[in-house]
Amino acid sequence: MKHFILSLFSFFLFSINACFCSEKFEDIHAATKLLFKALEKKKPIDTLIELGANLNDTTIKGAPPLAYAIKQRNEAAIDVLLPLTDLSSTYEENKTFLHEAIDTADHCIIKILVNAYSQNKLLEQVVNIPNSDKNSPFHLLALHTFKCLERAELIADIRPVLSIFQKSGGDLEAKNSKGETIQTILKKAQAELTTFRRLKLGWTAMHIAMKGPDLTLEGENVDDMWTFYNADPLGVNIQNSNGTTPFLILAYKYLKFKEKEKEKTVNILKLLKLMHIKGALIDLENKAGISVSKLLGAKFFT
* Burial classification of residue 33, based on how many CB atoms lie within 10 Å of its CB (0-12 exposed, 13-18 middle, 19 or more buried): exposed
Q: What span, in angstroms and rounded, lies between the C-alpha atoms of 97 and 85?
A: 10
Spatial contact of 108 and 75, defined as CB atoms under 8 Å apart: yes
Q: Centre a 10 Å sphere on the Cβ of residue 258 and count the other Cβ atoms it contains.
A: 15
Q: What is the pLDDT of residue 176?
A: 94
What length does the chain have?
302
Check whether 204 has a pLDDT greater than 90: no
How far is it, in rounded angstroms, from Cα 7 to Cα 18? 16
54 burial type by CB count under 10 A (0-12 exposed, 13-18 middle, 19+ buried): middle
pLDDT tens digit sequence for 43-68: 666 666 666 666 666 666 777 888 88
> Cα separation of 260 and 291, whole Å?
23
Q: Are 222 and 268 in contact (CB under 8 A)?
A: yes
**Cβ 46 vs Cβ 52: under 8 Å:** no
Q: How far apart are CA 299 and CA 276, in angstroms?
A: 12
Which of the four pLDDT bands, split at 50, 70 and 90, describes residue 208? Answer: confident
> pLDDT at residue 94 above 90?
yes
The residue type at 154? L
- Chain segment 66-77, per-residue pLDDT in tens: 888 898 888 888
Q: Which pTM does this prediction carry?
A: 0.56
- The full set of domains in the chain, from first to last, is 1-80 (no CATH), 86-200 (1.25.40.20), 204-296 (1.25.40)
Cα separation of 117 and 126, whole Å? Answer: 8
Quick check: 249 pLDDT over 70? yes
Cβ atoms 138, 128 nearer than 8 A: yes
The pLDDT of residue 100 is: 95
pLDDT category, 34, cuts 50, 70, 90?
A: very low
Q: Is the pLDDT of residue 285 over 90?
A: yes
Q: How far apart are CA 8 and CA 58, in angstroms?
A: 13
